[in-house]
Structure 1
Amino acid sequence: MATVKRSPNGKKWRVRWYDPDGNERAKDFDRSRDAKNYGADMEASKAKGRYVDLSSKTTVAEYARQWAEMRPHKESTAKRVESTIRNHVEGTRFGSMRLVSVRHSHAQAWATGRAAVLAPSTLRVVVYTVSAIFKAAIADQQHPGLSPFLNVALPEQPQARLVPLSVAQVRALADAVPDRCRAMVITQAGLGLRLGELLALTREDVDFLRRRANVQWQFRPGSRKRVRPKTKLSERPIPLPGFVADALALHMKEYPPLRDGSVFHNSRGGVWTHAAYGTKVLGDAVERAGLPEGTTSHDLRHHFASVLLAAGESVVAVAEWLGHANADLVVRVYGHLMPDSDQRMRQRMDAAWADADQVRTAGPLQAV
């Protein structure tokens, strides 16, 4: 139990207690009542499993490093987290603060300061990471109370409306790339693959008999090593359209898969990297095809989604084929590309009211 006695100089009241690890702690107060109340709070927090050592000198940056080391991050995520801590926590006033003393106002001031140097989308990723660090600190009994990042305000993120590539534009791009890359453009547009998934496609992943492609692997940027997709939902079967099957069959006849099964490879017999194909080959082809500046391989994925949604395909099904966890992102990005939705709404409302008109009683309604 906590005890309260006069401090050695006799001018203050000192409360002593033991933390959950058995270490003796002490704190001085001007009034005996305050010392007793504080001691009672410490004992209550221990009993509830919510004890936090408020005298801890661990800084935000120090705990962030500890948190990052404990997390089972994949290589790409670990690099992003390390960059966030190094560039946006360490070296800042916020990062040098004691973890236990951070309040909502401190978190808001830090986020506002980062907003001055980061794009809105990047800012959200950085704030999300640091917010996760504080959630872990609370669970680890290293920070008292609620997360200081709760309800932190961020600048609005302008969302430009997506204008997808048309079939004619995709064909122009396929005609502008080297012959051995033509099927790559068609396959990505017809299956909605991410670039890393496209580059890692193997002969075994293409099931011509069942007319299906199975996404099981990906190449990460800068790597030629096949790894599993980031989430289980990214490992998915996708219906194989006829024009994609034809393009792949012709491609594999002219450019047989490598010994490891790689469908797409360069003239030197090696697999493509993100930079070599996605940046150099496609970048040059975009200019030759006269496509909008800034067009990337990801626009072929947008093409896939937009064609299906405009044809009335289920948003949930499109999300599954894209490998998204839910349909919310699909609705946010592609919702405006369903031009017949307004017309369907009008038709359904008119039909409902027309049916109601047919069963209306003749003459004015009688009061009961």
Structure 2
Amino acid sequence: MREGLQERYRIAVDLGLALGVRQGEAFGLAEEDFDFRAEVVHIRRQLRWDGKGRPYFCLPKGRKTRGVPLPPNLARRVQLHFQLFPPVECTLPWRNPETPTTELEERQRKPITVRLVLSTSHALRINPGTWNERSWKPALVAAGVLRQVGEKAESYGSRVRLHPVYERSRPDMFHVLRHTFASVQLEAGESIVSVATWLGHSSPKITLDYYAHFMPGAGKRGLAALDTWLV
């Protein structure tokens, strides 16, 4: 599926899989969020779009930042991506794209500038709706994960263009990479507290509710350890 994406977008799969980030967090990642020396990625913001199609930055879901370990192979891929597709400077309002009406709102919504890791071929921030339809879903179709079920016609002045229509399949969207990250970590025996922190969950209980079935060794390792005391 990764190979079905345009080369500039393939790093998005790596980020979702190796860091467990949400789609908006991946699109909001900046060059300065990667600390290669400390081997950590700082998840500080997400890129959002409001109902009027206006982009803005805000804190990750739960309104808290977090740090996620940076795997060495991901670090190498990110550095190569920076060489092929240099980060793009982007300035957007913080927290809310509406025009401020008070001094407090003006301070709260003061625009910030970051160098985005992911951008379009026109050096713009990514619109998730467009990206999902024109990049992600076609890649899923190419991988045999999703089916195209038809076409729809759209008029552009005197021209008519046909666009593919795909089956509805929410489980196959970008969030599946986050689920994969969590399940692999837990199946490998990583601490539920650590995984919860990396995912940005407010409590390990939330992580357990979602992913307890990915912990096949839960209860058995402690039982085996205590059993050795009785030999």
2:25 aligned with 1:194: no
Alignment-derived partner of residue 224 in structure 1? 55
Q: 1:333 aligns with which of 185, 189, 210?
A: 210
Per-residue CA deviation, residues 180-231 of structure 1 (Å, 9 max, x unaligned), is 1111111111000011100011111111122111111111245422122243
SS at match of 1:303: helix
Which residue in 2 is equivalent to 1:271?
A: 125
Higher relative contact order (CA 8 A, sep 6+): 2
Aligned length: 181
Larger C-alpha radius of gyration, 1 or 2?
Answer: 1
Unpaired segments ≥5 residues, structure 1: 1-172, 356-368
Instruction: Give the 5 Å matches for 1:273-292.
Output: 273-291=127-145
Spell out the pairing of 1:1-368 with structure 2 (5 A cutoff): 173-221=1-49, 222-233=53-64, 235-260=65-90, 261-291=115-145, 294-341=171-218, 343-348=220-225, 350-352=227-229, 354-355=230-231
- The answer to whether the 8 A contact 1:195-1:278 is kept is no
The Cα of 1:179 is off from its aligned counterpart by 0.5
1:254-278 CA-partner distances (Å, limit 9, x unpaired)? 0101123011011111111111223
Q: Is 1:224–1:272's contact at 8 Å kept on the other side of the alignment? A: no
| TM-score with structure 1 setting the length | 0.46
d(CA) in 2 for partners of 1:285, 1:223: 26
Give the alignment's Cα RMSD to 1 decimal.
1.9
**Higher normalized strand content (fraction of residues):** 2
The CA deviation string for residues 327-351 of structure 1, in whole angstroms up to 9 with x for no partner, is 1121111111122225425524533
TM-score (norm. length: structure 2): 0.72
User: Per the alignment, do residues 343 and 230 of structure 1 end up closer, same or farther by CA in structure 2, a change over 3 Å counting?
Assistant: closer
Question: SS of 1:256's equivalent?
Answer: coil
Percent pairwise identity = 32
Which structure is higher in helix share? 1
Q: Secondary structure at the match of 2:67?
A: strand
Q: In 2, distance between residues paired with 1:192 and 1:199?
A: 13
- How far apart are the structure 1 equivalents of 2:33 and 2:63? 16
CA distance in 2, matches of 1:176, 1:322: 27
